[in-house]
Amino acid sequence: MAKVSRLTIQTIESTRVKDGERWLSDDDGARGSGRLSLRIRPDDRRLFYFRYSIGGKRTSIPLGPYSRLMAEGHLTLEEARELARQYSAIHRNPQTRDVQVHLGRKPEPSVVEAEPKGQVLADTAARARKFTVQDVCDNYVDNLRKRGKLSAESVASYIRVHVASTQWAGIPANEFTSQQAAALLRRIIEAGHETTALHVRRALHAAYQIALKATSDPTTSEVVVDFGVVVNPISSTASLSQFMRARERPALSNMELGHVWLELSEGPDSDEVATRFVRLSILLGGQRCRQLLRCTLASVDLDRRDITLLDPKGRRLSARKHVLPLNPMAMSEVMALRQLSKDLGNPYLFAGKKTNHPLTEGPISRALVPCSAKLLTQKKLDRPFQYADIRSTVETRAAQLGIDEGTRAQIQSHGITGVQVKH
Protein backbone atom coordinates (compact mmCIF):
# COMPACT_ATOMS: atom_id res chain seq x y z
CA MET A 1 0.00 0.00 0.00
CA ALA A 2 1.39 3.42 -1.01
CA LYS A 3 2.49 5.65 1.83
CA VAL A 4 0.32 8.72 2.49
CA SER A 5 1.77 11.85 4.07
CA ARG A 6 -0.48 14.89 3.82
CA LEU A 7 0.45 18.44 4.66
CA THR A 8 -1.33 20.07 7.57
CA ILE A 9 -1.51 23.69 8.65
CA GLN A 10 0.25 22.76 11.90
CA THR A 11 3.14 21.13 10.03
CA ILE A 12 3.47 24.04 7.61
CA GLU A 13 3.57 26.67 10.34
CA SER A 14 5.68 24.80 12.90
CA THR A 15 8.49 23.69 10.58
CA ARG A 16 11.58 25.92 10.74
CA VAL A 17 14.96 25.86 8.97
CA LYS A 18 18.20 27.60 10.03
CA ASP A 19 20.41 26.86 7.05
CA GLY A 20 19.52 26.04 3.48
CA GLU A 21 15.91 25.18 2.87
CA ARG A 22 13.46 22.34 3.38
CA TRP A 23 10.84 20.75 1.15
CA LEU A 24 7.59 19.17 2.38
CA SER A 25 5.30 17.10 0.14
CA ASP A 26 1.55 16.72 0.16
CA ASP A 27 1.68 13.04 -0.73
CA ASP A 28 -1.65 11.24 -1.21
CA GLY A 29 -0.01 7.98 -2.18
CA ALA A 30 -0.65 8.33 -5.93
CA ARG A 31 2.25 7.78 -8.30
CA GLY A 32 2.93 9.44 -11.64
CA SER A 33 0.53 12.32 -11.03
CA GLY A 34 2.87 14.95 -9.65
CA ARG A 35 2.27 16.48 -6.27
CA LEU A 36 1.92 19.66 -4.27
CA SER A 37 5.11 20.63 -2.44
CA LEU A 38 6.03 23.35 0.03
CA ARG A 39 9.44 25.02 0.08
CA ILE A 40 10.48 26.55 3.42
CA ARG A 41 13.31 29.10 3.27
CA PRO A 42 15.58 30.38 6.03
CA ASP A 43 13.82 33.76 5.90
CA ASP A 44 10.65 31.85 7.01
CA ARG A 45 8.92 32.20 3.65
CA ARG A 46 6.69 29.26 2.72
CA LEU A 47 6.17 28.79 -1.01
CA PHE A 48 3.92 26.31 -2.80
CA TYR A 49 5.10 24.42 -5.91
CA PHE A 50 3.72 21.73 -8.17
CA ARG A 51 6.44 19.12 -8.81
CA TYR A 52 6.45 16.36 -11.37
CA SER A 53 8.96 14.22 -13.27
CA ILE A 54 9.34 13.28 -16.94
CA GLY A 55 12.11 10.94 -18.04
CA GLY A 56 13.80 11.17 -14.68
CA LYS A 57 13.93 14.98 -14.82
CA ARG A 58 12.11 16.82 -12.05
CA THR A 59 10.30 20.08 -12.78
CA SER A 60 8.93 22.50 -10.18
CA ILE A 61 6.29 25.10 -11.07
CA PRO A 62 5.84 27.93 -8.54
CA LEU A 63 2.26 28.49 -7.43
CA GLY A 64 2.46 31.18 -4.75
CA PRO A 65 3.22 31.89 -1.08
CA TYR A 66 1.31 30.18 1.74
CA SER A 67 -1.28 31.91 3.92
CA ARG A 68 -3.47 30.35 6.63
CA LEU A 69 -6.40 32.55 5.57
CA MET A 70 -7.44 33.67 2.10
CA ALA A 71 -5.39 36.68 1.04
CA GLU A 72 -4.70 38.45 -2.24
CA GLY A 73 -1.62 37.01 -3.91
CA HIS A 74 -1.40 34.05 -1.50
CA LEU A 75 -2.76 30.53 -1.35
CA THR A 76 -4.36 28.62 1.49
CA LEU A 77 -3.55 24.93 1.75
CA GLU A 78 -6.89 23.98 0.20
CA GLU A 79 -6.48 26.48 -2.64
CA ALA A 80 -3.01 25.11 -3.35
CA ARG A 81 -4.36 21.56 -3.36
CA GLU A 82 -7.10 22.50 -5.80
CA LEU A 83 -4.55 24.11 -8.11
CA ALA A 84 -2.28 21.06 -7.81
CA ARG A 85 -5.22 18.82 -8.72
CA GLN A 86 -5.72 20.81 -11.92
CA TYR A 87 -2.04 20.50 -12.79
CA SER A 88 -2.12 16.80 -11.96
CA ALA A 89 -4.98 16.27 -14.41
CA ILE A 90 -2.92 17.98 -17.12
CA HIS A 91 0.13 15.88 -16.24
CA ARG A 92 -1.83 12.60 -16.41
CA ASN A 93 -2.98 13.37 -19.95
CA PRO A 94 -0.43 11.73 -22.34
CA GLN A 95 -0.78 14.69 -24.71
CA THR A 96 0.06 17.29 -22.07
CA ARG A 97 2.36 15.46 -19.64
CA ASP A 98 4.86 18.31 -19.54
CA VAL A 99 2.68 20.80 -17.67
CA GLN A 100 5.22 23.59 -17.95
CA VAL A 101 5.33 23.33 -21.74
CA HIS A 102 1.55 22.92 -22.00
CA LEU A 103 0.94 26.14 -20.07
CA GLY A 104 3.51 28.02 -22.10
CA ARG A 105 5.77 28.77 -19.16
CA LYS A 106 9.46 29.42 -19.73
CA PRO A 107 11.79 26.73 -18.38
CA GLU A 108 13.46 27.77 -15.14
CA PRO A 109 17.20 27.08 -14.75
CA SER A 110 16.81 25.87 -11.16
CA VAL A 111 14.19 25.91 -8.47
CA VAL A 112 16.50 27.87 -6.15
CA GLU A 113 16.65 30.78 -8.60
CA ALA A 114 12.96 30.66 -9.38
CA GLU A 115 10.75 32.98 -7.35
CA PRO A 116 6.94 32.92 -7.33
CA LYS A 117 5.36 36.14 -8.51
CA GLY A 118 3.10 36.36 -5.44
CA GLN A 119 0.00 35.37 -7.35
CA VAL A 120 -1.36 32.26 -9.03
CA LEU A 121 -0.03 31.79 -12.55
CA ALA A 122 1.35 35.32 -12.83
CA ASP A 123 3.45 34.50 -15.89
CA THR A 124 0.49 33.05 -17.83
CA ALA A 125 -1.87 35.87 -16.89
CA ALA A 126 -0.49 38.18 -19.57
CA ARG A 127 -1.14 35.58 -22.27
CA ALA A 128 -4.74 35.09 -21.14
CA ARG A 129 -5.41 38.70 -20.16
CA LYS A 130 -7.62 39.40 -23.17
CA PHE A 131 -10.17 36.89 -21.83
CA THR A 132 -12.45 38.26 -19.12
CA VAL A 133 -14.96 36.97 -16.58
CA GLN A 134 -17.66 37.86 -19.09
CA ASP A 135 -15.93 35.73 -21.73
CA VAL A 136 -15.95 32.72 -19.38
CA CYS A 137 -19.67 33.25 -18.75
CA ASP A 138 -20.48 33.66 -22.44
CA ASN A 139 -18.55 30.49 -23.19
CA TYR A 140 -20.70 28.64 -20.64
CA VAL A 141 -23.95 29.91 -22.16
CA ASP A 142 -22.76 28.86 -25.63
CA ASN A 143 -21.92 25.45 -24.20
CA LEU A 144 -25.45 25.11 -22.77
CA ARG A 145 -27.00 26.09 -26.10
CA LYS A 146 -24.89 23.60 -28.06
CA ARG A 147 -25.96 20.85 -25.66
CA GLY A 148 -29.61 21.79 -26.06
CA LYS A 149 -30.05 22.70 -22.39
CA LEU A 150 -33.39 24.37 -21.66
CA SER A 151 -31.72 26.46 -18.96
CA ALA A 152 -29.50 28.29 -21.47
CA GLU A 153 -31.70 31.36 -21.85
CA SER A 154 -32.40 31.78 -18.13
CA VAL A 155 -28.67 31.47 -17.38
CA ALA A 156 -27.94 34.01 -20.12
CA SER A 157 -30.44 36.38 -18.46
CA TYR A 158 -28.81 36.00 -15.02
CA ILE A 159 -25.39 36.70 -16.55
CA ARG A 160 -26.62 39.69 -18.54
CA VAL A 161 -28.38 41.36 -15.60
CA HIS A 162 -26.13 40.49 -12.67
CA VAL A 163 -22.64 40.04 -14.13
CA ALA A 164 -22.28 41.89 -17.42
CA SER A 165 -23.38 45.18 -15.86
CA THR A 166 -20.85 45.06 -13.00
CA GLN A 167 -17.24 46.21 -12.67
CA TRP A 168 -16.15 42.57 -12.33
CA ALA A 169 -17.25 41.53 -15.83
CA GLY A 170 -14.15 43.03 -17.45
CA ILE A 171 -11.61 41.55 -15.03
CA PRO A 172 -9.19 39.06 -16.65
CA ALA A 173 -10.70 35.62 -16.15
CA ASN A 174 -7.62 34.19 -14.42
CA GLU A 175 -7.41 37.12 -11.98
CA PHE A 176 -10.98 36.95 -10.67
CA THR A 177 -10.76 36.13 -6.95
CA SER A 178 -13.15 34.51 -4.50
CA GLN A 179 -13.33 37.82 -2.62
CA GLN A 180 -14.50 39.61 -5.78
CA ALA A 181 -17.01 36.85 -6.49
CA ALA A 182 -18.33 37.19 -2.93
CA ALA A 183 -18.67 40.96 -3.40
CA LEU A 184 -20.64 40.43 -6.62
CA LEU A 185 -23.01 37.98 -4.93
CA ARG A 186 -23.29 40.13 -1.79
CA ARG A 187 -24.64 43.02 -3.84
CA ILE A 188 -27.42 40.81 -5.21
CA ILE A 189 -28.30 39.51 -1.72
CA GLU A 190 -28.36 43.01 -0.23
CA ALA A 191 -30.82 44.02 -2.97
CA GLY A 192 -33.17 41.39 -1.57
CA HIS A 193 -32.70 38.78 -4.30
CA GLU A 194 -31.35 35.83 -2.32
CA THR A 195 -32.60 33.11 -4.67
CA THR A 196 -31.21 35.00 -7.66
CA ALA A 197 -27.82 35.15 -5.92
CA LEU A 198 -27.93 31.37 -5.58
CA HIS A 199 -28.60 30.97 -9.32
CA VAL A 200 -25.85 33.45 -10.25
CA ARG A 201 -23.34 31.62 -8.05
CA ARG A 202 -24.26 28.30 -9.66
CA ALA A 203 -23.84 29.82 -13.13
CA LEU A 204 -20.44 31.34 -12.29
CA HIS A 205 -19.21 28.11 -10.70
CA ALA A 206 -20.31 26.03 -13.70
CA ALA A 207 -18.77 28.57 -16.12
CA TYR A 208 -15.37 28.31 -14.45
CA GLN A 209 -15.63 24.52 -14.25
CA ILE A 210 -16.16 24.39 -18.02
CA ALA A 211 -13.06 26.54 -18.53
CA LEU A 212 -11.09 24.39 -16.08
CA LYS A 213 -12.13 21.14 -17.74
CA ALA A 214 -10.59 22.27 -21.01
CA THR A 215 -7.07 21.94 -19.58
CA SER A 216 -7.51 18.20 -19.04
CA ASP A 217 -10.05 17.30 -21.73
CA PRO A 218 -8.47 16.77 -25.17
CA THR A 219 -11.88 16.96 -26.88
CA THR A 220 -12.41 20.62 -26.02
CA SER A 221 -11.33 23.44 -28.30
CA GLU A 222 -8.07 25.29 -27.81
CA VAL A 223 -9.83 28.64 -27.52
CA VAL A 224 -11.14 27.55 -24.10
CA VAL A 225 -7.64 26.56 -22.96
CA ASP A 226 -6.51 30.09 -23.81
CA PHE A 227 -8.61 31.43 -20.93
CA GLY A 228 -5.66 30.50 -18.72
CA VAL A 229 -8.04 29.55 -15.90
CA VAL A 230 -6.52 26.94 -13.57
CA VAL A 231 -8.51 27.45 -10.37
CA ASN A 232 -12.22 28.01 -9.74
CA PRO A 233 -12.56 31.14 -7.56
CA ILE A 234 -16.24 30.40 -6.90
CA SER A 235 -15.43 27.17 -5.06
CA SER A 236 -14.17 29.14 -2.06
CA THR A 237 -17.35 31.22 -1.73
CA ALA A 238 -20.29 30.21 0.48
CA SER A 239 -22.68 27.80 -1.26
CA LEU A 240 -25.78 29.95 -0.43
CA SER A 241 -27.70 26.71 0.08
CA GLN A 242 -29.78 28.47 2.75
CA PHE A 243 -31.56 30.28 -0.09
CA MET A 244 -32.87 27.06 -1.65
CA ARG A 245 -36.59 27.29 -1.03
CA ALA A 246 -38.95 24.37 -1.42
CA ARG A 247 -42.39 25.06 -2.83
CA GLU A 248 -44.72 26.19 -0.06
CA ARG A 249 -47.93 24.92 -1.61
CA PRO A 250 -48.65 21.23 -0.91
CA ALA A 251 -49.89 18.97 -3.68
CA LEU A 252 -53.49 19.42 -4.78
CA SER A 253 -55.87 17.05 -3.03
CA ASN A 254 -57.88 14.56 -5.07
CA MET A 255 -60.92 16.79 -4.78
CA GLU A 256 -58.98 19.93 -5.77
CA LEU A 257 -57.42 18.19 -8.77
CA GLY A 258 -60.89 17.06 -9.84
CA HIS A 259 -62.23 20.63 -9.69
CA VAL A 260 -59.23 21.89 -11.69
CA TRP A 261 -59.79 19.25 -14.35
CA LEU A 262 -63.50 20.07 -14.67
CA GLU A 263 -62.79 23.79 -14.90
CA LEU A 264 -60.15 23.23 -17.60
CA SER A 265 -62.54 20.97 -19.49
CA GLU A 266 -65.79 22.93 -19.14
CA GLY A 267 -64.77 26.49 -18.32
CA PRO A 268 -64.19 29.39 -20.77
CA ASP A 269 -61.50 28.56 -23.33
CA SER A 270 -59.72 31.88 -23.93
CA ASP A 271 -56.60 30.09 -25.20
CA GLU A 272 -57.38 26.66 -26.60
CA VAL A 273 -53.75 25.62 -27.14
CA ALA A 274 -52.69 26.58 -23.59
CA THR A 275 -55.72 24.87 -22.03
CA ARG A 276 -55.17 21.70 -24.01
CA PHE A 277 -51.49 21.82 -23.06
CA VAL A 278 -52.33 21.73 -19.34
CA ARG A 279 -54.86 18.93 -19.79
CA LEU A 280 -52.39 16.86 -21.84
CA SER A 281 -49.64 17.44 -19.29
CA ILE A 282 -51.85 15.97 -16.56
CA LEU A 283 -52.76 13.01 -18.79
CA LEU A 284 -49.04 12.42 -19.51
CA GLY A 285 -48.11 12.29 -15.84
CA GLY A 286 -47.04 15.87 -15.06
CA GLN A 287 -44.27 16.60 -17.55
CA ARG A 288 -41.83 19.52 -17.34
CA CYS A 289 -43.34 22.56 -19.01
CA ARG A 290 -40.48 23.57 -21.30
CA GLN A 291 -39.77 20.01 -22.43
CA LEU A 292 -43.38 19.39 -23.39
CA LEU A 293 -43.69 22.77 -25.15
CA ARG A 294 -40.83 21.86 -27.50
CA CYS A 295 -42.60 18.76 -28.73
CA THR A 296 -42.93 18.73 -32.55
CA LEU A 297 -45.50 17.07 -34.79
CA ALA A 298 -42.80 14.56 -35.74
CA SER A 299 -42.54 13.58 -32.06
CA VAL A 300 -45.99 12.01 -32.18
CA ASP A 301 -46.30 8.43 -33.46
CA LEU A 302 -49.97 7.70 -34.16
CA ASP A 303 -49.31 4.07 -35.03
CA ARG A 304 -47.58 3.34 -31.73
CA ARG A 305 -49.83 5.83 -29.94
CA ASP A 306 -46.97 7.51 -28.11
CA ILE A 307 -45.13 10.82 -27.91
CA THR A 308 -41.36 11.32 -27.58
CA LEU A 309 -39.95 14.19 -25.53
CA LEU A 310 -36.27 15.13 -25.25
CA ASP A 311 -34.92 15.50 -21.72
CA PRO A 312 -31.58 17.38 -21.64
CA LYS A 313 -31.60 18.03 -17.88
CA GLY A 314 -28.60 17.35 -15.64
CA ARG A 315 -25.11 16.56 -16.88
CA ARG A 316 -26.20 14.68 -19.98
CA LEU A 317 -24.13 15.50 -23.06
CA SER A 318 -27.11 14.66 -25.28
CA ALA A 319 -30.82 14.74 -24.53
CA ARG A 320 -32.48 11.54 -23.30
CA LYS A 321 -35.45 10.29 -25.33
CA HIS A 322 -38.45 10.18 -23.05
CA VAL A 323 -41.26 8.12 -24.63
CA LEU A 324 -44.77 8.33 -23.17
CA PRO A 325 -47.86 6.31 -24.12
CA LEU A 326 -51.01 8.12 -25.21
CA ASN A 327 -54.24 6.86 -23.66
CA PRO A 328 -57.54 7.57 -25.49
CA MET A 329 -58.09 10.93 -23.74
CA ALA A 330 -54.51 12.01 -24.46
CA MET A 331 -54.89 10.91 -28.10
CA SER A 332 -57.97 13.11 -28.41
CA GLU A 333 -56.03 16.15 -27.16
CA VAL A 334 -53.08 15.39 -29.45
CA MET A 335 -55.26 14.98 -32.55
CA ALA A 336 -56.93 18.35 -31.93
CA LEU A 337 -53.56 20.04 -31.36
CA ARG A 338 -52.06 18.43 -34.48
CA GLN A 339 -54.89 19.78 -36.60
CA LEU A 340 -54.51 23.28 -35.17
CA SER A 341 -50.77 23.26 -35.91
CA LYS A 342 -51.26 21.89 -39.42
CA ASP A 343 -53.84 24.59 -40.19
CA LEU A 344 -51.27 27.20 -39.09
CA GLY A 345 -48.38 25.50 -40.87
CA ASN A 346 -46.52 25.25 -37.55
CA PRO A 347 -44.14 22.28 -36.98
CA TYR A 348 -44.72 22.29 -33.21
CA LEU A 349 -47.52 20.39 -31.49
CA PHE A 350 -48.29 23.45 -29.35
CA ALA A 351 -48.37 26.26 -31.90
CA GLY A 352 -47.22 29.65 -30.66
CA LYS A 353 -48.29 33.12 -31.77
CA LYS A 354 -45.17 33.50 -33.92
CA THR A 355 -44.82 31.56 -37.15
CA ASN A 356 -42.80 28.34 -36.77
CA HIS A 357 -42.41 28.90 -33.01
CA PRO A 358 -43.84 26.85 -30.14
CA LEU A 359 -46.09 28.21 -27.44
CA THR A 360 -44.16 29.84 -24.56
CA GLU A 361 -44.57 29.45 -20.81
CA GLY A 362 -46.32 32.81 -20.43
CA PRO A 363 -49.69 31.78 -21.92
CA ILE A 364 -49.61 28.59 -19.82
CA SER A 365 -49.33 30.59 -16.61
CA ARG A 366 -51.96 33.10 -17.73
CA ALA A 367 -54.42 30.33 -18.64
CA LEU A 368 -54.33 29.03 -15.07
CA VAL A 369 -54.81 32.41 -13.35
CA PRO A 370 -58.60 32.69 -13.96
CA CYS A 371 -59.02 28.96 -13.24
CA SER A 372 -57.29 29.30 -9.88
CA ALA A 373 -59.13 32.56 -9.01
CA LYS A 374 -62.55 31.12 -9.84
CA LEU A 375 -62.02 27.95 -7.80
CA LEU A 376 -60.74 30.02 -4.87
CA THR A 377 -63.86 32.19 -4.97
CA GLN A 378 -66.03 29.08 -5.02
CA LYS A 379 -63.96 27.70 -2.09
CA LYS A 380 -63.04 24.65 -4.14
CA LEU A 381 -59.33 25.39 -3.59
CA ASP A 382 -57.59 25.93 -0.29
CA ARG A 383 -55.00 28.27 -1.84
CA PRO A 384 -53.88 29.44 -5.33
CA PHE A 385 -52.07 27.02 -7.61
CA GLN A 386 -49.86 27.29 -10.68
CA TYR A 387 -48.52 24.98 -13.36
CA ALA A 388 -45.52 23.84 -11.29
CA ASP A 389 -47.95 22.36 -8.73
CA ILE A 390 -49.31 19.89 -11.29
CA ARG A 391 -46.08 17.88 -11.53
CA SER A 392 -45.75 17.46 -7.76
CA THR A 393 -49.47 16.67 -7.49
CA VAL A 394 -49.26 13.85 -10.04
CA GLU A 395 -46.20 12.42 -8.27
CA THR A 396 -47.97 12.50 -4.89
CA ARG A 397 -51.22 11.00 -6.16
CA ALA A 398 -49.33 8.27 -8.05
CA ALA A 399 -47.50 7.32 -4.85
CA GLN A 400 -50.83 7.16 -2.98
CA LEU A 401 -52.16 4.81 -5.64
CA GLY A 402 -49.29 2.44 -4.92
CA ILE A 403 -47.31 3.07 -8.11
CA ASP A 404 -43.71 2.16 -7.33
CA GLU A 405 -40.94 4.75 -7.25
CA GLY A 406 -39.15 3.37 -10.33
CA THR A 407 -42.26 3.64 -12.48
CA ARG A 408 -42.96 7.15 -11.24
CA ALA A 409 -39.36 8.12 -12.07
CA GLN A 410 -39.75 6.74 -15.60
CA ILE A 411 -43.01 8.62 -16.12
CA GLN A 412 -41.61 11.96 -14.96
CA SER A 413 -38.03 11.37 -16.18
CA HIS A 414 -36.20 12.12 -12.97
CA GLY A 415 -33.67 10.29 -10.82
CA ILE A 416 -32.99 7.81 -13.62
CA THR A 417 -29.45 6.39 -13.35
CA GLY A 418 -27.60 3.12 -13.64
CA VAL A 419 -26.24 0.81 -16.33
CA GLN A 420 -29.61 -0.78 -17.16
CA VAL A 421 -31.23 2.60 -17.79
CA LYS A 422 -28.26 3.79 -19.85
CA HIS A 423 -28.55 0.87 -22.25
- Residue 356 falls in which region: left (phi positive, over 0), alpha (psi -120 to 50) or beta: left
Of 200, 221, 243, which closes a domain? 243
User: How far, CA to CA in Å, does 214 sit from each of 62, 209, 346?
Assistant: 21, 9, 40
Domain boundary among 243, 273, 301: 243
Count of domains in the chain?
3
pLDDT average, residue stretch 218-231 = 59
CATH of the domain at 178: 1.10.150
Residue 223 burial (C-beta neighbours within 10 Å; 0-12, 13-18, 19+): exposed
Please tell me the distance from the alpha carbon of residue 65 to that of residue 19, in angstroms, as a whole number.
Answer: 20
Domain span at residue 205 reads 133-243
Residue 126 domain flag: no
Describe the strand order of the beta sheet including 320-325 as a list of residue ranges. 300-301, 306-311, 320-325
| Mean pLDDT over each residue of the chain, to the nearest integer | 82
CA-to-CA separations, 123 to 89, 114, 284, in angstroms, rounded: 20, 12, 57
Confidence grade of residue 244 (pLDDT, cut at 50, 70, 90) = confident
Task: Check whether residue 283 and residue 408 sit in a common domain.
Answer: yes
Of residues 355, 354, 353, 392, the one with CA closest to residue 274: 353
Answer yes or no: do 72 and 149 share one domain: no
188 and 302 housed in the same domain: no
**Are 293 and 167 in the same domain?**
no
Q: Do residues 111 and 176 share a domain?
A: no
CATH of the domain at 116: 3.30.160.390
Identify whether residues 202 and 269 lie together within a single domain: no
Contact 36, 18 (CB under 8 A): no
4 in a structural domain: no
Which residues pair with residue 64 across a beta bridge?
48
Q: What is the DSSP string of 89-118?
A: HHHHSGGG--HHHHTTPPP-S-TTT----S
Q: Name the least confident of 203-217, 279-293, 378-392.
A: 203-217
User: Do 397 and 260 share a structural domain?
Assistant: yes
Q: What is the pLDDT of residues 262-302, one digit of tens each?
A: 988 876 555 789 999 999 999 999 888 888 998 999 999 99
Tens digits of per-residue pLDDT, 98-139? 888 887 654 444 443 344 444 444 444 444 556 889 989 998
pLDDT for 217: 60
Q: Write the pLDDT tens digit of every residue in 32-70.
A: 889 999 999 888 889 999 999 988 888 999 988 998 887
Residue 388 domain flag? yes
